[in-house]
Amino acid sequence: MHIESGNPQDTAAAGGPRIGRRMLLSAGAVLAAGAGAATATALGRGSGHQAPALPAPVPHYGARQSGLTYRQLPATRLLALDLPATADRDALRGLLAALDKVLAAASDGSLADPRLSAAPVSSLAAVGPALAARLKLDAPAELAELPAFPGDRLDPARGGGDLLLQISAEQPWTTGVLTEHLLTAARPFGAAPRWSQAGFLPNVPDGETPRNLFGFKDGTANPDPADPGLWHSDGTILVYRRIRMDTAAFAAVPTDRQELAMGRHLMSGAPLSGTAEHDDPDIYIKHPDGSYVIPVDAHVRLSSPRLDGGARMLRRGYSYDDGPDDRGLLFCAFMRDPALFTRVQNRLAENDALNPYLTHNASAVAWVLPGSRPDRPLGATL
Ligand code: HEM
């Protein structure tokens, strides 16, 4: 069992000294400066030990939630909760405030838990359409369940939910421990876990696009997160799809055929119509024989914003690996109106050259709330 603030065993609650992550952080900074022999001994380290510089914490408070504004950390966990049917708005506000407290403490290093180190943590909390309707919340009118798509094999136990939380960190260890704290904070409100899903990204240098399990760079053609077309004041809508990928079958396809299916080059990530990764894919350019350079069934043609009047979604996907036969993509995209996802997915479900290798097996939609402040916790304005 872990030790929480408020627990009599917690040294802070008992009035004793509390070595939280905040203290370890500043101690770490002293060590990094090479001036902390005494502190090093107090922390049980040899006096000759040089600790590496610790990363700066992610600010939790802000107009928009850190899970959207901060760079994608390589380990993520999605956690969906269901509330009791009797829960009212006050219960929801209380629950969100309690979760906000945990998330704020996790990001500033003040959560007293020896299992947590001073590593960056980002998070977001979002409300599902059924709960928003049940409590008559003032949610964006666009918040609605998705329709069924051809080829869907959805498992309801892995999708949906009243509340959707996403926490990201450098390591799955951190997201796992934080999930435990969030569930402990949620329990007094009767909120029960509905599903949880871990995801990861390969470690890449800053500014480089990570690859997905097909080996292609994923996330290249994303809008600027500040684009006002993505937001409802400081909130937005998340569309989540758990998509199984038959990576072995795709790997057996020759590279040039893979590139035609994707519409981009494997190694550079450049569109077939260009030469550099960030060249805009030109879906209208043709070969001398009249065929399209980016084929009619290529993924980047069918998902192109040019077919949606320029409307874009912000994709922040992760890979998942739940065993040899269950690996794929956690598609997480943020947009003002999930009808955009529906239009794109209808085109993909019909014609995408990737379809023989993909199965959508879970789905969720949720309204990502505006960020919080110390005096205005998550959900305070609901
Ligand atoms: C496992 C399934 C999928 C894989 C492996 C995949 C992979 C990719 C890759 C490699 C790119 C090109 C690089 C980039 O711009 O990020 C891309 C672009 C894109 N994908 Fe997917 N994707 C998948 C599912 C989806 C789904 C379900 C949607 C939405 C319904 C979607 C929407 C998009 C969009 C909007 C773009 C950018 C198009 C552009 O602006 O050029 N993808 N995807």
> To which residue do tokens 């504004």 refer?
69
The residue segments making up the domain with residue 42 are 18-54
Residues 48 and 196 in one domain: no
* 28 within domain boundaries: yes
- CATH code (residue 347): 3.30.70.1030
Instruction: Quick: pLDDT tens for 259-302.
Output: 999 999 999 999 999 999 999 999 999 999 999 999 999 999 99
Backbone φ, ψ for residue 157 (5° rounding): -75, -15
3-state secondary structure of 31: helix
Residues 46 and 76 in one domain: no
Residues 136 and 284 in one domain: yes
How many angstroms does the Cα of residue 81 sit away from the middle of ligand 1? 28
Residues 173 and 129 in one domain: yes
* 9 within domain boundaries: no
Question: Is 289 annotated as catalytic?
Answer: no
Residues 134 and 269 in one domain: yes
- Looking at ligand 1, which residue's alpha carbon is closest to its atom 32? 303
Residues 82 and 162 in one domain: yes
Residues 323 and 353 in one domain: yes
User: Is the CB of 283 inside a 6 Å radius of any atom of ligand 1?
Assistant: no
Residues 126 and 221 in one domain: yes
User: Is the CB of 264 inside a 6 Å radius of any atom of ligand 1?
Assistant: yes
Instruction: Quick: pLDDT tens for 96-117.
Output: 999 999 999 999 989 989 999 7
DSSP secondary structure code for residue 352 in this structure:
-
Kindly give the residue spans of alpha helices, DSSP state H, lying in the chain. 21-32, 37-42, 66-69, 89-108, 129-134, 172-186, 247-251, 255-262, 299-302, 339-351
> To which residue do tokens 């949620």 refer?
186
Which of 64, 71, 358, 372 is closest to 231 using CA atoms? 64
Q: Which residues contact 71 (CB under 8 A, 6 or more apart)?
A: 206
* 7 within domain boundaries: no
Maximal C-alpha separation, the chain = 80
Q: What is the dihedral of CA 78, 84, 89, 92, to 10 degrees?
A: -30
Counting atoms of ligand 1 from 1, which one is nearest the CA of 269?
13
* 13 within domain boundaries: no
* 381 within domain boundaries: no
Total tally of structural domains belonging to the chain = 2
Residues 227 and 244 in one domain: yes
Distance CA 112, CA 262 (A): 46
Instruction: Quick: pLDDT tens for 177-196.
Output: 999 999 999 999 999 999 99
* 359 within domain boundaries: yes
| Residue of 100, 162, 218, 297 with catalytic role | 218
**Whether the Cβ atoms of residue 144 and residue 366 lie closer than 8 Å to each other:** no
Instruction: Quick: pLDDT tens for 225-270.
Output: 999 999 999 999 999 999 999 999 999 999 999 999 999 999 999 9
